[in-house]
Structure 1
Amino acid sequence: MKIEIDQDKCVGAGQCVFAAMDVFDQRDSDGIAVLLTDEPTEEHWEGVREAAAVCPAAAITLHEN
């Protein structure tokens, strides 16, 4: 799995961090989501899928192999 965040779409709601805090974080300056890793291990996939599903701006794209 590979993750992309469209930071121009991100509204800084932080739902991704709640769903997968080992994969997502937010910039201190504006709350925009950032990736801690763009290729998470399998143990994080469920949280990453949830993060993409609950993102209010649909800013997270998953590429599953």
Structure 2
Amino acid sequence: MKKLLLGLGNYINILSKLTFLFIFLFVVYIFLEKKMITTSDILIVFSIILIQYALPPFISWIVNMKIKK
């Protein structure tokens, strides 16, 4: 029963992230259609998001590799 609940929670978590992603992309599409934002604005936002989420695991991976040596 516990595994079922954990699996269900994981499924709901992934589903909520996908829903947020689709809503975000839809809003970006509407803004692009109305010429309220440009593609350079989108690239800046995505680079900030990428740095925010991808850099800490990468740094911790490098630190772990240095510690293991």
TM-score relative to the length of structure 1: 0.27
Q: Write 1 or 2 for the structure with the bigger share of strand.
A: 1
Query: Higher helix share goes to which structure?
Result: 2
TM-score of the superposed pair, with normalisation by structure 2: 0.26
